[in-house]
Amino acid sequence: MTLSWWCFNPGIAFEEFHKLDVGSIILTSGTLSPMDSFALELKLEFPVRLENPHVITPSQIWAGVVSAGPSSCSFNSSYRNRDSVEYKQELGNAIGM
């Protein structure tokens, strides 16, 4: 039997960098925004920041709710329904379209 204790707070790890007097940290990702809250999570100040605008224009995005698949089967992802063959088949058909 193994008991593990994991800390998923990145701020604790980054505090160690500060204690070690690390001079530079380069973080890159497409999902670090908003930077102010991200800096709070890491418990760091970022004196130099480079943030670029998003590469996708608003006209390239669609957001909506798809409540049923191509054959009108309801997308009910409840615990009782999510393992049914019909639900999985309908979800697959919707993705494949």
SS (H, E, C) 7-41: CCCHHHHHHHHHHCCCCCCCCCCCCCCCHHHHHHH
Q: Residue ranges of the domains in the chain? A: 7-54, 64-96
pLDDT digits (tens, 9 = 90+) for 36-48: 888 888 887 778 8
Res. 70 pLDDT band, cuts 50 70 90:
very high
The predicted model scores a pTM of: 0.40
